[in-house]
Amino acid sequence: MTRIAYFGPQGTFTEQAARTFGEAEFISVETVPQVLAAVRAGEADYGCVPVENSVGGAVTATMDALAEDSPLIAIGEVILPVRFSILVRPGTQAEDIKTIASFPHGLTQVRQWTAENLPNAREVVTTSTAAAAAQVYDGEYDAAVSAPVAALHYPLEEFATDVADVRNAVTRFLLLSQPAALPAPTGSDRTSLAVVIAHDEPGSLASTLSELALRGINLTRIESRPLRGLYGEYRFYLDFDGHVAEQRVADALAALHRSSRQVRFLGSYPKADGSPSEPMPKNSDDDYAAARAWVTRIQEGR
Positions 245 through 264 that interact with a second copy (CB under 8 A): 245, 250, 253-255, 257-259
The size of the interface with a second copy (CB under 8 A), counted in residues, is 82
Of the two residues 98 and 257, which places its CB atom closer to a second copy in the complex? 257
224 touches a second copy by CB under 8 A: yes
Quote the Cα angle for 293-297-301, to 5°: 170
**Site residues (CB under 8 A) for a second copy, limited to 14-73:** 53-61, 63
For residue 159, which of 93, 108, 114 has the smallest C-alpha distance? 93
Contact code string over 123-152 relative to a second copy, x by CB under 8 A? x-xxx-------------------------
The residues facing 31 across adjacent strands are none
Of the two residues 152 and 280, which places its CB atom closer to a second copy in the complex? 280
**DSSP 8-state class, residue 34:** H
Residue 201 CA to residue 178 CA, distance in Å, equals 34
Q: How far is the CB of 19 from a second copy (least distance, A)?
A: 20
Residue selected from 214, 274, 276, 278 as contacting a second copy according to rule CB under 8 A: 214
Residue 120 CA to residue 190 CA, distance in Å, equals 46
Q: How far is the CB of 31 from a second copy (least distance, A)?
A: 8
Contact code string over 93-112 relative to a second copy, x by CB under 8 A? ----------xx--x-----
**3-state class (DSSP) for residue 7:** strand
Q: How far is CA 273 from CA 1, 78, 210, 241, in A?
A: 27, 8, 26, 12
Task: Please say whether the beta carbons of 82 and 13 come within 8 A.
Answer: yes
